[in-house]
Amino acid sequence: MKIESLMSTKLVTLHLDDDLSKAKDVFNTHNIHHILILDDDNKLAGVITDRDLFKHLSPTVGTSKESPKDISLMQRKMHQIMSRELISAKKEQSLNEAVLLFHDNHISCLPVTNEQGKAIGIITWRDILKVIALQYRKKIKQSG
């Protein structure tokens, strides 16, 4: 099975100079765990996870105890907190290769890029787990 058959092509992206408040809104709106960050040429430049965001948020953001410092933190830019050392894949790679990339690099998502470095998809560890679960369920039904 190829990555292409499992990757999501409905990408949620932000740009390098978008701020944390925009990322927070995107995570809340789309119920996702990863946002791909694009540069000025719309090439993949980084990834931010919901955990990255929460590490930089104050627990008082959006409450009556919100401070000027909290508001200031929300203005930080994606390029200041995103992961830059990207591990990515090509759509032709196998799911087994993807599993090795997840395991060997301790990552939770794998952006899929084309030859020009533009993001065309994303696959997460949850996608891999779903395939394994469905295959196992099928195996149980066949043996039962």
35-94 pLDDT, tens per residue? 999 999 999 999 999 999 988 877 777 778 877 877 778 889 999 999 999 999 999 999
Using a 10 angstrom Cβ sphere, with 0-12 exposed, 13-18 middle and 19 or more buried, the burial of residue 137 is exposed
pTM value?
0.87
Mean pLDDT for the chain overall: 92
Give the pLDDT confidence score for residue 143 in this predicted structure.
84
The second-level CATH assignment, the architecture, of 3-143 is Roll (3.10)
Q: Where are the domains of the chain?
A: 3-143
Q: SS in 3 state form for 41-100?
A: CCCEEEEEEHHHHHHHCCCCCCCCCCCHHHHHHCCCEHHHHCECCCCCECCCCEHHHHHH
Give the pLDDT confidence score for residue 105 in this predicted structure.
96
